[in-house]
């Protein structure tokens, strides 16, 4: 079960602070799609890390945020875009 206290939510969301307004909107749409399609439990994911993504994600539709630059990558059609 997810932790829902304010301090934990802010700590867990810290990797999203580098996003632009447009990236926030994409992220919100992705989350809405996850809720609609899989109840937030399966078909999509959001990852972040230092540098561009290099490995294949475990789900078919994934967003990745490079925390150094704020660059947003999308995984679809078996490739990062």
pLDDT greater at residue 7 or residue 5? 7
Q: How many CB atoms lie within 10 A of CB 70?
A: 13
pLDDT in tens, 19-68: 888 888 888 888 777 766 655 555 567 888 899 999 998 877 788 889 89
CA–CA separation, 78 and 81 (whole Å): 10
DSSP codes of every residue in 11-58:
HHTGGGTT--HHHHHHHHHHHHHHHHHHTTSSSEEEEEESSS--S--S
Report residue 1's pLDDT band, with 50, 70 and 90 as the boundaries: very low
């Amino acid at each position: 079960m997810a932790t829902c206290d304010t301090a934990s939510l802010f700590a867990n969301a810290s990797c999203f602070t580098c996003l632009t307004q447009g990236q926030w909107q994409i992220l919100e749409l992705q989350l809405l799609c996850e809720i609609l399609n899989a109840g937030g439990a399966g078909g999509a994911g959001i990852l972040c890390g230092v540098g561009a993504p290099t490995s294949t994600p475990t789900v078919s539709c994934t967003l990745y945020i490079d925390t150094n630059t704020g660059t947003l990558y999308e995984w679809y059609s078996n490739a990062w875009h």
